[in-house]
Chain A
Amino acid sequence: MAQFLPILSAIAALGGLGILFGLVLGLADKKFAVEVDERVSAVRAAVAGANCGACGYAGCDAYAEAVVRGDAKANACTPGGAKTVKAIAEIMGVNAEATEPMVARVRCQGTCERVTTRYDYKGVPSCRAASGISGGPNACEFGCVGFGECLSVCAFGAIQMVDGIAVINDDVCTGCGMCVDVCPRNIIQMLPKDQTVVVMCRNEATGKRAVQQCKTACVACKRCEKACPSNSIKVVKGVAIIDETTCTRCGACIPVCPMHCIVNFYERNMEDVAAATAQAALNDIEIP
């Protein structure tokens, strides 16, 4: 027994010191307790937590603090959606103004078969790099480059590359807008989710030149302008643009488009569009 005494005394001495310091620290913790506003942690728990910065603050923590200070609105967290707005409003005791859910839309249908390829790009697989080399490998200088820069920044996995263009899954997209900033071609746009009628092209070339670049390019024929009953579609700089504030989503512009570049998002079926485009190309449509 005696030979174990030093070990036991060592354990007792260090253990005793440890317990003593622990008690002191426990008391100090009580004495120096910092009163963190519990609403901050509650708001922090309610937001989406992607640190995406869509709210305009440095991160979810900064946003939560701003909300509690009263600097930020409860509805600034786009990824969190209506659920978060409601939760924050409950914590802060204000009425929720639900935001109109926004989704990102890739306004391009230039898949590999449709767009004309000018050269074979073998460099760094980056949209930005590729589009810097004499306007990019695709003949269309406005369309999707197809290297998926948007895909890599999407924190929610809502973007897929299909046939060389980015396709966003509406059900997964939270509307944080990260992809909008990263796209060198500026073809991704934040649109209200109920804006189902979208011009899927940004090509500013007109007439024959546009067709040479891509089989579904907007040729600026202005047929949609004439067909629109509410005057909300205009051809500006060689490309049709829908004003989503006046658009009634009637879809009158969709059948008149010879290039099939206006689509109704919830009726869109990639195969149908492809077949119609092929047919249109065969019919040798006349372009004004």
Chain B
Amino acid sequence: MNPIVKVLLFMFSCVLTNNYIFSRFLGCCPFLGVSNKVETAFGMGIAVTFVMALASLFTYFVYYYVLIPLNLAYLNTIAFILVIASLVQVVEMFLKKSAPSLYSALGIYLPLITTNCAVLGVTILNISEGYNLLYSVLNGTFGALGFLVAIVLMAGVRERLESAKIAPPLKGFPISLVIAGLMSIAFLGFSNMFAGVM
């Protein structure tokens, strides 16, 4: 198959079929925590995309050029968390300087990207799937874009929920969880989309 088509298919599969939230259930904390407003959800998604793309890049080098030569592959989790934590710090400083309103809107969830399991998940998956550098970075970037799509969709739904008539026991968080489940089922529809061609 044409390698460009293959890369394109891989990108789409990262966003739709292997969506980190809806089919791998990683990164649910910020997904539910920051999806109140589309604007902040989008900001969170961009921040996560930035961190995930860079984390994939850096962890590739850390793994293959530091840990493997030193026979320290078993330390990958701790080393990756180190990389991610540093990246999040840089992103935090950057946002504080360039987008203070987004910085204050994201609040506590910004440092929490450190513990966003989708970020650690993508780096570890890159290793276990044996992706090369290009595929690792693509997996990180487009996996995070899948996260962005999911959180923005969720925020759009939740913004409409504000004015909807909902039974009191379901108001707020419960209905959000129900919606998250329904969206996950909807995304199941993509599950075998690229199975035949890849």
CA distance A22 to B86 in the complex (A): 8
Q: Name the residue among A14, A29, A33 with the largest chain B CB count within 10 angstroms.
A: A14
- Nearest residue (CB) in A for B92 is A32
**Chain B interface extent, by class:** 10 to 19
Instruction: Flag whether B188 is at the interface (Cβ < 8 A).
Output: no
Those of A1-43 within 8 Å (CB) of chain B: 6, 9-10, 13-14, 17-18, 21-22, 24-25, 28-29, 32-34
Distance in angstroms from A258 CB to nearest chain B CB is: 57
Q: Does B2 contact A (CB under 8 A)?
A: no
CB-nearest residue of chain B to A9: B70
* Complex alpha-carbon distance, A243 and B86, angstroms: 64
A243 to B: closest C-beta gap in Å = 47
Binds A, one of B22-30, B77-85, B156-164, B177-185: B77-85
When distances are taken between beta carbons in the complex, the residues of chain A under 8 Å from B83 are 17, 21
Tell me the bound Cα distance from A12 to B69 in angstroms. 13
Closest to B86 in A: A21
**In the complex, per-residue mask of B72-102: 1 if CB is within 8 Å of any chain A CB, else 0:** 1001001100110010011001101100100
Q: Within 8 Å CB of A34, what residues of B?
A: 96-97, 100
Across the interface, do B93 and A29 meet the contact criterion of CB distance under 8 Å? yes
Contact status B82-A14, CB under 8 Å: yes
The reply to whether B72 and A25 form a contact with Cβ atoms under 8 Å apart is no
Are A10 and B86 touching (Cβ within 8 A)? Answer: no
Q: Is B128 an interface residue (CB 8 A)?
A: no
Chain B residues in 8 Å Cβ range of A25: 86, 89-90
Neighbouring B residues of A32 by C-beta, 8 Å: 90, 93-94, 96-97
Does B62 lie at the interface of the complex (its beta carbon under 8 Å from any beta carbon of A)?
yes
User: Are A9 and B72 in contact (CB-based, < 8 A)?
Assistant: yes
Which residues of the partner chain B approach A9 to less than 8 Å between Cβ atoms?
Answer: 70-72
Tell me the residues in window 165-189 of chain B with beta carbons closer than 8 Å to chain A beta carbons: none
Alpha-carbon gap, A13 to B67, bound state (A): 8
Among B67, B71, B75, B82, contact of A18 (Cβ-Cβ < 8 Å): B82
Residues from chain A with Cβ under 8 Å of B66 in the complex? 13, 17
The total of Cβ contacts below 8 Å across the A-B interface reads: 47
Contact partners of B97 in chain A: CB under 8 A: 32-34
Q: How far is the CA of A28 from the CA of B97 in the complex (A)?
A: 11
Minimum C-beta distance from A116 to chain B (A): 44
Beta-carbon contact of B94 and A17 below 8 Å: no
Chain A stretch 107-166: residues in CB contact (< 8 A) with chain B: none
- The distance in angstroms between the C-alpha atoms of A6 and B72, with both chains bound, is 8
A21's closest neighbor in chain B, by CB? Answer: B86
**B86 contacts which chain A residues (CB < 8 A)?**
21-22, 24-25
Contact status B90-A13, CB under 8 Å = no
B70/A13 in contact, CB under 8 A: yes
List the A side residues contacting B96 at CB < 8 Å: 32, 34
Residues of A within 8 A of B62 (CB): 17
In the assembled complex, the Cα of A168 lies from the Cα of B15 at a distance in Å of 65
Shortest CB distance B87–A (Å): 9
Complex Cα distance, B74 from A6, in Å, reads: 11
Q: How far is the CB of A67 from chain B (nearest CB, A)?
A: 19
B79: which A residues are within 8 A, CB to CB? 13-14, 17
* Contact indicator A14/B94 (Cβ below 8 Å): no
State A127–B82 Cα separation when bound (angstroms).
Answer: 55
20 extra interface residue pairs, beta carbon distance < 8 Å, beyond A22-B86, A32-B93: A6-B71, A6-B72, A9-B71, A10-B70, A10-B72, A10-B75, A13-B75, A14-B75, A17-B62, A17-B79, A18-B82, A24-B90, A25-B86, A28-B90, A28-B94, A29-B93, A33-B97, A34-B96, A34-B97, A34-B100
Pick the 3 closest A-B CB pairs, nearest first: A21-B86, A32-B93, A32-B97
- The contact sample of 20 A-B pairs, CB cut-off 8 A, is A10-B70, A10-B75, A13-B72, A14-B75, A14-B78, A17-B62, A17-B79, A17-B82, A17-B83, A18-B82, A21-B86, A22-B86, A24-B90, A25-B86, A25-B90, A28-B89, A32-B90, A32-B96, A33-B97, A34-B96
